Amino acid sequence: MSRNSGKWQVTSGKRDLFPQPITRNSQLLYWLPALLYMLLIFILSCFPAPEPFRKVPIIYDIKLVHIVEYGILSLLYAYALKNTTQLNKWQLFWTAVIFTIAYGITDELHQLFVPQRTCKVSDVLGNTIGALLFQLGYLKFNKKKLG
């Protein structure tokens, strides 16, 4: 027996001795990796870029580090969304991409106020490319699981 939407229901032929309700706290745990990663991005963008990141390739003014950094964030969003919502695979795809782009924009705006940092549209473009590429990879490698 489990509790769902305020009602008790039998989920199998056996009764659970101590049924566990699905709570908002348990859903928050799925979002924790994305939230911690967002905090890490925010903290790192409070300081000038570390020397190793300055050596990462830049292609047409798009930094490879942004593609990877925000691609990872989009995967963390997808993980949270998959485990806390009923979105289909395309809704999950676009929601993760939109969340990633939105956070990337807020991070670029934040950098307007950080000495030795700049707000660049090309960085948002790199974030978007990363989110799209990583989400396409996520879809490709999870075809069976996502239906």
Confidence label for 62 from pLDDT (cuts 50, 70 and 90): confident
Please give the C-alpha separations between residue 61 and each of 14, 56, 64, 88, 123, in angstroms, as whole numbers. Answer: 60, 12, 9, 34, 8
Please report how the helices 121-141 and 89-111 are oriented relative to each other, as an axis angle in degrees rounded to 10.
160
Q: Please check the confidence at residue 53 and state whether its pLDDT lies above 70.
A: no
The larger pLDDT score, comparing residue 103 to residue 142, is at: 103
Q: Taking the domains of the chain in order of start, what are their residue ranges?
A: 23-146
Confidence label for 9 from pLDDT (cuts 50, 70 and 90): very low
Helix boundaries (H) for the chain: 24-44, 51-54, 64-84, 89-111, 121-141, 143-146
Residue 108 half-sphere exposure toward CB, CA atoms < 13 A: 18
Report, as an integer, the average pLDDT of 94-120: 93
Q: Please check the confidence at residue 43 and state whether its pLDDT lies above 70.
A: yes
User: Quick check: 70 and 104 in contact, CB under 8 A?
Assistant: yes
Q: Please check the confidence at residue 16 and state whether its pLDDT lies above 50.
A: no
Report, as an integer, the average pLDDT of 90-97: 96
Confidence label for 22 from pLDDT (cuts 50, 70 and 90): low
